Structure 1
Amino acid sequence: MEELTEHVCIICDQSKTEGILIVSQFVCEDCESEIVHTNAEDAKYHFFIHQLKQIAMPKNA
């Protein structure tokens, strides 16, 4: 049986096992689903964009 690895989501900052890795950043399954279903006019959309910018800008920069 495969052991699941926990990662910290760059959106919700929670430790989860299910989600996607984009470059070296993790987005949990719950946040991924919420991002996909959020309308561009929704205020939360801008929060998601801000959080996802971490993918292009490493934390050590």
Structure 2
Amino acid sequence: MEKQKGEICIVCDREKSVGIHLYTSFICVDCEREMISTQTSDPKYQYYLEKLRRVKNPPLYS
């Protein structure tokens, strides 16, 4: 049997096989669930905002 390859989540930096794509970025289903259930007053909310900024400004490779 061949192991299914995953993608690297931009939030948790782990390889996962199920999730969503935002432009060229991948967010795993676990992080997606955590983000949508986080209140704006929670300190984790700021962490998620910082991680999501990577979607808007993808890294440049030269």
Common fold by TM > 0.5: yes
1:4-61 CA deviation, whole Å, 9 max, x = no partner? 5411000000000000000000000000000000000000000000000001101117
Residue 9 of structure 1: aligned partner: 9
The answer on 1:34 being equivalent to 2:34 is yes
Count, aligned residues: 59
Residue 23 of structure 1: aligned partner: 23
Structure 2: tracts of 5 or more residues without a match:
none
TM-score by length of structure 1 reads 0.90
RMSD: 1.5
| Over 4 Å off, 4+ runs | none
TM-score by length of structure 2 reads 0.88
Structure 1: tracts of 5 or more residues without a match:
none
> Structure 2 counterpart of 1:30, which letter?
D
What percentage of aligned pairs have identical amino acids?
Answer: 32
User: 2:21 & 2:4 partners in 1: Cα distance?
Assistant: 14
Residue 57 of structure 1: aligned partner: 57
